[in-house]
Amino acid sequence: MGWPYIGQTLQLYSEDPNVFFASKHKRYGEVFKSHILGCPCVMLAGPEAARFVLVTHAHLFKPTYPKSKEKLIGPSALFFSQGHYHSSIRKLVQTSLSPQRLRKLIPLIESEAISALESWVSSSQVINVFQSMKKFSFDIGVLSVFGELDKNYRDQLKEMYCIVEKGYNSFPNWIPGTAYSKALLARRRIREIISEIICKRKEQRLMEKDLLGQLLNYKDEKGQTLNDDQIADNLIGVLFAAQDTTASVLTWILKYLHDHHKLLQAVKDEQVAIYEGNERGKKALTWDQTRKMPITYKVILETLRMASIISFTFREATVDVVYNGYLIPKGWKVMPLFRNIHHNPEFYPSPHNFDPSRFEVAPKPNTFMPFGNGVHSCPGNELAKLNMLILVHHLVTKYRWEVVGSQSGIQYSPFPVPLHGLPARFWTNQ
């Protein structure tokens, strides 16, 4: 269980999670305990255990986050909630990200992708790919939440989110001047900005289909609407969830394509055929075309497996639970380990080799969970994958890139990304 109070938190957040989890898995089997972030935890490293906690017996486990993190996002956000409220909000998020809505977002996502890539080339500088992808992912998140938002609001939100992000994974210290206290002030400013946007939307009586519109128009069976705090918490939560995870995966995609020349050529051939069919990019991509990128799609799936950006998820036992003869005491945290499952050679032969062809056959049930599983799985997964397909299309058909400096190494902040955020230089194809 590690040191008193600290437990094994330092090892978990400073080591390669593959090493941390795999050593325990090897020593203790698929069910073992630890002490993380001041809490006793049960870690579950098998697909059936993950299904038990997240799907078949999800009612016995509640989503749980440290109070310091909950305070920065907002207690009414989707991923802190349960029951009827959770299912209602989840439906609204899913509706705002339905295939019909995503079809309409494609030209806007394309415009953002082209703008991002052109800015990387025109700077003639070495780009921190991860930081650049964060900006791109945030802009797409804003589109999905607010539609085409005024640039002034968008810039203000981005500035405040950077401050919140720095405080989110810092020690929760309320002393003025600390990263956490600055994050709380920035969060308050985000709330004010969202209030202004809501007031304008109500004054103009716009009936938009974006997430803000869905939340504003919601009424339950008793005619109750959502209050502004509930709306703001959910908008802040969705924007927060949309940024780092998608940016991390996109960074790894560029890394893997850079390192595998034959694969890059196969992806390029696939995308150039679509590009030529669109009169060399004069026509916009269509929804149907994004559904016909099998090689690129398998690259995305394999990147999600290899990188396993979300190594685990936190739940808390609401009662004493027995799983396979093991007692999970009420109040203990429970952590299904996605990374262990994704890197298990029983399910993925040679798991540390990057091999998209393995997805020519569908994975076994409960062995591929990059977006979680069950009622709390990520409702924005299709938007995330669409972002990736569109950005890769424009990247490989019009540009080339070279990684600068170290070709290996991983940093954890807290999501795994290539060392130094993958410094790279971009050029236009001649």
Contact (Cβ atoms closer than 8 angstroms) between residue 164 and residue 175? no
Cβ-defined contacts of 281-289 (< 8 Å, 24+): 281/394, 281/397, 281/398, 284/106, 284/107, 284/110, 285/106, 285/110, 285/390, 285/393, 286/106, 287/99, 287/102, 287/103, 287/106
Binding-site positions read 378
Q: What angle do CA 196, 139, 117 make, to 5 degrees?
A: 150
The count of C-alpha atoms lying within 13 angstroms of the C-alpha of 271, restricted to the half-sphere facing its C-beta, is 23
Both structure tokens of 25: 């898995």
Tell which residue, 315, 324, 313, has the closest CA to residue 61: 315
Both structure tokens of 97: 């990200």
Tokens 């017996």 belong to which residue? 57
Helix crossing, 228-259 with 381-398: angle to 10°?
Answer: 40
Binding-site positions for heme read 378
Tell which residue, 211, 78, 217, has the closest CA to residue 140: 211
Does 414 sit behind a cis peptide bond, omega within 30 degrees of 0 on the bond before it? yes
Burial of 345: CB neighbours in 10 Å, binned 0-12, 13-18, 19+:
exposed
Contact (Cβ atoms closer than 8 angstroms) between residue 141 and residue 242? yes
Tell which residue, 82, 91, 6, 78, has the closest CA to residue 40: 6
Q: How far apart are CA 277 and CA 293, in angstroms?
A: 14
Contact (Cβ atoms closer than 8 angstroms) between residue 315 and residue 332? no
228 C-beta neighbours (distance < 10 Å), count: 14
Both structure tokens of 211: 């997430």
Helix (H, G, I), strand (E, B) or coil at 21: helix
Contact (Cβ atoms closer than 8 angstroms) between residue 333 and residue 66? no
Tokens 């559904």 belong to which residue? 291
206 C-beta neighbours (distance < 10 Å), count: 13
